[in-house]
Amino acid sequence: MNIKNSPIGFFDSGVGGLSVMREAISIMPNENFIYFGDSQNAPYGTKELKEVKNLTLNAVDFLLDKNVKAIVVACNTATSAAIEEVRSKYKKLIVIGIEPALKPAVKLSRKGKIIIMATPMTLREKKFKLLMEKYKDESCIESLPCAGLVEFIEQGVLDGEKLEGYLREKFKDYLTDDIASVVLGCTHYPFVKKPLANVIGDHVPLIDGGLGTSYELERKLIEKDLINDSKEKGNIEIYNSINDNKIIDFCYNLINIKI
Ligand code: DGL
C-alpha cells in the first residue's frame, strides 16, 4: 500500500483532541483519520507525570499498529509530559504536539490580561515555562489551572447552569478587569466556548491551537511528500479505551457540532 494513503493518527486523553482533528479534516478532507481517545484514564492533567508518559507511549503504539503515517498528540497535557520521549523513540515518524496558543493572543495586542486556561500539569511543566518566558515581557499573562473542567466535557456536559457556575467561580477574580483574550490551553475546552462566552462576555476572543496545529501537520506532510492525493473524501475511524458505542457516537457528534 502507498504510504500516502495511510491514515493520520490523533490521540488525546479523551474526547478533546477531536477539536483539533475536526480542523485537520476541514483543511485536508481527503486524508484518512484514526482517533484514539483514552477516556478510561481521563483526566490526565491531575495525574503523575510518569503515568501520563506511559499512557501516551501506549497510545502512540496503538496508533502505530494501525499503520499511521503521522501522529498528532492532540493533548496539551500529554504533549508537555511526553512529546520528547515520543520523538526520540520514533525518530523517523512525523510527530506533532500542541501547546497553548499564546503567540496569537499576544499578537492581538488587546488591552487587559491574557488568561491561559489549561490543566494543572500543562501549566506546571517545563514546556509551558519556556513559552511564558518568551512572551512574559510583551503582555500581562495569567495562568488559570482548571482541574475538573475536562470531566464535564467527558461526561457530555457542554452547557448548562452547573458548567457556567464552575466557569464563573474560576473567573471570579478577573471579571471586573479587562480580559484581553482567553487561551484555551486544553483541547477539550473549545467544546465549551458558548458557556464560557456567557460568563466572560462574547466580546472576549477565545483562542485555541487546533487550526494552527493542523496547518503544521499539513506542512510536515507536504515536506515529506506524504499528502494523500486521493480525490475521494477520506475515512474517519474512532477508537476509545472505554469500549462503549455511546462514547464513540458522542465523538462523531463532536466532529460535526457547531462550536
Ligand atoms: N485534552 C487534554 C489537554 O489538552 C486534557 C487533559 C486531561 O485529560 O486532563 O490538555
159 and 135 in a common domain: yes
243 and 185 in a common domain: no
Q: Characterize the bridge pairing of strands 94-96 and 70-73.
A: parallel
Cα separations in angstroms, 218 against 15, 85, 96, 208: 22, 22, 10, 18
Q: What is the model's pLDDT at position 20?
A: 98
Distance CA 222, CA 153 (A): 34
Distance 15 CA to ligand 1 centre (A): 9
190 and 94 in a common domain: no
The residue type of 31 is: E
Distance 222 CA to ligand 1 centre (A): 28
What DSSP string describes 37-57? E-GGG---TTS-HHHHHHHHH
Residues classed as catalytic: 75, 186
Distance 157 CA to ligand 1 centre (A): 16
- Provide the 3-class DSSP secondary structure of residue 237: strand
Distance 75 CA to ligand 1 centre (A): 5
Domain span holding position 231: 3-98+210-256
- What is the pTM for the complete model shown? 0.98
89 and 108 in a common domain: no
| Nearest ligand 1 atom, CA 17 | 1
Question: For atom 2 of ligand 1, which residue has the closest CA?
Answer: 75
- Provide the 3-class DSSP secondary structure of residue 135: helix
106 and 203 in a common domain: yes
Distance CA 60, CA 180 (A): 36
Residue 125, C-beta contacts closer than 8 angstroms, at least 6 positions apart:
49, 80, 81
In short, whether 188's Cβ falls inside 6 Å of ligand 1 is yes
94 and 136 in a common domain: no
107: left (phi over 0), alpha (psi -120 to 50) or beta: alpha
173 and 219 in a common domain: no
Q: What is the model's pLDDT at position 1?
A: 73
Tell which one of 73, 77, 98 to mutate to probe ligand 1, the residue whose CB is within 8 A of the most ligand atoms.
77
- Provide the 3-class DSSP secondary structure of residue 206: strand
109 and 183 in a common domain: yes
In short, whether 79's Cβ falls inside 6 Å of ligand 1 is no
Q: What is the model's pLDDT at position 9?
A: 98
Query: Is 77 annotated in some ligand binding site?
Result: yes
| Nearest ligand 1 atom, CA 47 | 9
Query: Is 187 annotated in some ligand binding site?
Result: yes
Query: Is 188 annotated in some ligand binding site?
Result: yes
Q: What is the model's pLDDT at position 49?
A: 98
234 and 176 in a common domain: no
In short, whether 44's Cβ falls inside 6 Å of ligand 1 is yes
State the burial class of residue 16 (Cβ atoms within 10 Å of its Cβ: 0-12, 13-18, 19+): buried
In 76-223, alpha helices (H): 76-89, 102-107, 120-124, 126-135, 149-154, 161-170, 193-200, 210-223
Q: What is the model's pLDDT at position 238?
A: 98
Q: Which of 207, 226, 247 is the last residue of a domain?
A: 207
CATH (domain of 201):
3.40.50.1860
252 and 200 in a common domain: no
215 and 94 in a common domain: yes
CB 75 within 8 A of CB 208: no
Query: Is 76 annotated in some ligand binding site?
Result: yes
188 and 107 in a common domain: yes
Cis bond before residue 43 (omega within 30° of 0): yes
Query: Is 44 annotated in some ligand binding site?
Result: yes
CB 257 within 8 A of CB 25: no
Distance 104 CA to ligand 1 centre (A): 21
In short, whether 76's Cβ falls inside 6 Å of ligand 1 is yes
How many domains is the chain partitioned into structurally? 2
In 3-135, alpha helices (H): 18-27, 49-65, 76-89, 102-107, 120-124, 126-135
Tell which one of 12, 36, 192, 254 to mutate to probe ligand 1, the residue whose CB is within 8 A of the most ligand atoms.
12
Q: What is the model's pLDDT at position 251?
A: 98
pLDDT per position in the chain (259 positions), as tens? 799 999 999 999 999 999 999 999 999 999 999 999 999 999 999 999 999 999 999 999 999 999 999 999 999 999 999 999 999 999 999 999 999 999 999 999 999 999 999 999 999 999 999 999 999 999 999 999 999 999 999 999 999 999 999 999 999 999 999 999 999 999 999 999 999 999 999 999 999 999 999 999 999 999 999 999 999 999 999 999 998 999 999 999 999 999 8
